[in-house]
Amino acid sequence: MTADNRLATLLAEYNEVEQMLADPSIHADQALARKTGRRFAELSPIAKTSGELDQVRADLSVARELAAEDAAFAAEADELEERIPVLEGRLAELLAPRDPNDAKDVILEVKAGEGGEESALFAGDLLRMYQRYAERHGWATEILDSQESDLGGYKDVAIAIKTRGIPDGGNGVWSRLKWEGGVHRVQRVPATESQGRIHTSAAGVLVTPEVEEAGDVEIDQNDLRIDVFRSSGPGGQSVNTTDSAVRITHLPTGIVVSCQNERSQLQNKDRAMRMLHAKLVALAEEQAAAAAGDARRSQVRTVDRSERIRTYNYPQNRISDHRIGYTAYNLDIALGGELDSVLDALADADRKARLAGEDQLSRG
């Protein structure tokens, strides 16, 4: 499809979505209203830029005609002519194929890897970094499940991160945090180290777009094995006297999810099903991409020190993203939730690849 045809198609969709939102009956279905609102937010910058470009071209035509009779209009014509390539570039960027999940919320999991207790402490540091980043952007967070370590870190933790309302320009949580999936490596003196030696350990991060509607994927209840058990805390001690924790195994794929944070077995099951839905949709999308010859590498293969996407070096106060050669000496600020500089660099590299017609930047 040519750029002109794509623009015409998207502008037609914009008009259709605008009419849908003007119909009061759509708000009877909150899920549909939210989905339609997000699509309108995605299309609005395209419609606005296209309209502005059309207006500048029309004004330029008029200015040129007037300049033929009055030289005073020549300067205005020159100014309008300079704006056209800027608007054309912006429109080309907006028309470049985008990730269809960009407007979605996410489920983010952090798993301790090599390094024992130090890795679990680092997993806790990563969790707090993402919580602070979410807070800076006005996003809501909800811990779905967690397994704490003896020293206050996390062996495994899953958190839902959501936008409040409709994300501006269709750029939701996924559009920013999709780059975080992979192995994160830390170099520092552990709290458990008495000799002051620098150790290296790792934690894995998995980011999945959250499913808005259960209809996005069908789950046959006969394909599920549901086990209940007592919740456990650090050291494996029981923190609940009833079998409220839930583990769900999807037999066809082998995907396992669990939740033990709530005292109600039903609440834990609901949260586990949310995570399972998200994982199954992500798996289906990855299989479809592989069938089209555009398979993405797994975000987390084995949580070891070799397959890293980013290194956090405490002695040098350095953060390095190995996918794009990014390095900055502001690790303390990044851990405080100021991740925009590295995420902007990753998004810019991906945008350039898309405009060049290349494969999108790998997310891990």
Please state, rounded to an integer, the average pLDDT across all residues of the chain.
Answer: 86
Distance separating alpha carbons of residues 247 and 53, to the nearest angstrom: 55
User: What pLDDT score does 190 carry?
Assistant: 85
Cα distances (angstroms) measured from residue 313 to each of 138, 296, 321, 331: 28, 28, 11, 8
User: What integer is the mean pLDDT of 135-154?
Assistant: 92
Task: Give the model confidence (pLDDT) of 278-311 as tens digits.
Answer: 899 888 877 776 655 543 444 444 444 446 899 9
With a cut of 80, say whether residue 224 has pLDDT above it. yes
Alpha-carbon distance of 320 to 327, in angstroms, equals 4
| Interval 201-205 mean pLDDT | 94
How large is the average pLDDT for residues 14-29? 93
Arithmetic mean of pLDDT, 171-190: 93
Res. 360: pLDDT tops 60: no
Position 233 pLDDT exceeds 70: no
Phi, psi of 112 (to 5 degrees): -65, 145
State mean pLDDT over 119-137: 96
pLDDT in tens, 158-168: 999 999 887 77
User: Exposed, middle or buried, 283 (CB in 10 Å: 0-12/13-18/19+)?
Assistant: middle
Mean pLDDT of all residues in 45-52: 95
* pLDDT at position 295: 37
The answer to whether residues 332 and 317 touch, using CB atoms and an 8 Å cutoff, is yes
Residue of 44, 338, 19 lying closest to 167 (CA atoms): 44
Backbone angles phi, psi at 279, to 5 degrees: -65, -40
19 or 38, higher pLDDT: 19
Residue with tokens 């002109």: 4
Single-letter code of the amino acid located at 65: E
Q: Across 264-273, 284-293, 314-323, which has the greatest mean pLDDT?
A: 314-323
What residues does 288 pair with on adjacent strands?
none
